[in-house]
A and B are shown apart, each in its own frame.
Chain A
Amino acid sequence: GQNIDQPTEMTATEGAIVQINCTYQTSGFNGLFWYQQHAGEAPTFLSYNVLDGLEEKGRFSSFLSRSKGYSYLLLKELQMKDSASYLCAVRDRRGLTGGGNKLTFGTGTQLKVEL
């Protein structure tokens, strides 16, 4: 099976930097994803890591350490619109002989950005 842990809630100030951590335990690991989800809406893709290291994309960066089963999402220059839930998801390709993206999601971290 798979187990994914994220903090439930975080609060940060507009303009600041926040780091959202995710730890996972899984066999058959084949990539880690971060999604942003505003209340009542569909998740939107933020980042993907399959190799160790940092992936940077504008104000958002994501880091992965496979040996530690650890990832973080870094948000810089926080804006009010960044208030949302951030979902960590792990891909498991076991049993998917033809490919595809069978993802297991964490419960999400609700980020509140304040003035």
Chain B
Amino acid sequence: DAKTTQPPSMDCAEGRAANLPCNHSTISGNEYVYWYRQIHSQGPQYIIHGLKNNETNEMASLIITEDRKSSTLILPHATLRDTAVYYCIVCGSSNTGKLIFGQGTTLQVKP
């Protein structure tokens, strides 16, 4: 599975959009980009995933560059409850294999 690189931390003002970047320059054609988050020491929570098209659900939007070497997770209106560690993970199309977590980005949403 391809390695990902994320900034260790970011701040965002409450109510503003949070844009979390991820680099995955070695991603292969059949690998998906998944985003999870972990609030405090709770279990990781699935957010969104995509292959090459941009995706949106009730939690977030995922923008994947045309060359697929990077992506951005967008939380459109961040709240204090969005403070968490966000993980960008690349894995195969079936996703039945293990998830490899990096250090992620700690997002601090400030009032």
Partners in one complex: no
Interface of B with A (CB < 8 Å)?
Answer: none
